[in-house]
Amino acid sequence: MPSMVELRAQTFQREVKGDLKQYYKAKLVEWRNGPNVVKLDRPTRLDRARELGYKAKPGIVVVRSVAKKGGFFVPRPRAGRRPKNMGVKLIKYNINAQTIAERKAAESFPGMEVLGSYFVGEDGKHKWYEVILVDPHNPSIKNDGELNWICNPAQKNRVYRGLTPAGRRSRGLRHKGVRDGFLKREAWKKKEYISQIRRL
């Protein structure tokens, strides 16, 4: 007999890829029309939240945060010399969408630290993540042997320093033996190779 956590994990997979897609799409419409950062009573994916360290206790908050997909534009130079390699289109962020969602959640809840986040949905323009926030000043967190490491002053503003799992992945550190930025260089080489082929 599967547990409640396993049933929730199976339900999420059915919503994304299976026979419950209509409910998934209706949920995305509701999220799209709502605010960017929403505090939740309980995690949507309890199995994934527990893997990241979530506990149903005071001092821990779960919020749903949104991030836009894709890159962005910068204004074209209006005066002075025209740069030869002027970057206007196809400008990319140095961080992934998950880190952007974590930073939005951290800005909405100052004084709390980001423990981690996980994917809950996406449409053509947005990605939604549920972010687990921890209050390092709460006595229940200070007395918890598994979570009191986040009370260390060295963990302050960890989401802005790339110390969360999503931040480490954007820095290329999620795989053992991979140097900082290695994956970014590989992506840049691949892009340059494709552009050279298109010129031929």
Provide the residue count of the chain.
200
- Please name which of 72, 98, 70, 68 lies closest in space to residue 159, comparing C-alpha atoms: 98
Report whether pLDDT(58) > 60. yes
Question: Which of 2-16, 110-124, 167-181, 186-200 has the highest mean predicted lDDT (pLDDT)?
Answer: 110-124
Helices (H) and strands (E) in the chain, counts: 7, 4
pLDDT at 20 over 80: yes
Task: Please say whether the beta carbons of 134 and 54 come within 8 A.
Answer: no
| Pairing of the two strands 126-134 and 113-122 | antiparallel
Span 132-144, pLDDT tens digits: 999 999 999 999 9
In CATH, which of 3.30.70.100, 3.40.1120.10, 1.20.1560.10, 2.40.50.140 is domain 4-199? Answer: 3.40.1120.10
Q: Where are the beta strands (DSSP E) in the chain?
A: 37-40, 60-68, 113-122, 126-134
* CA–CA gap between residue 28 and residue 122 (Å, rounded): 7
Q: With contact defined as beta carbons under 8 Å apart, do 127 and 95 qualify? A: no
State the angle between helix axes of 4-17 and 21-33 in degrees (0 to 180), rounded to the nearest 10. 90
52 vs 85, residue with greater confidence: 52
Q: Is the pLDDT of residue 113 over 70?
A: yes
In one letter, which amino acid is 129? Answer: Y
pLDDT for 100 beyond 70: yes
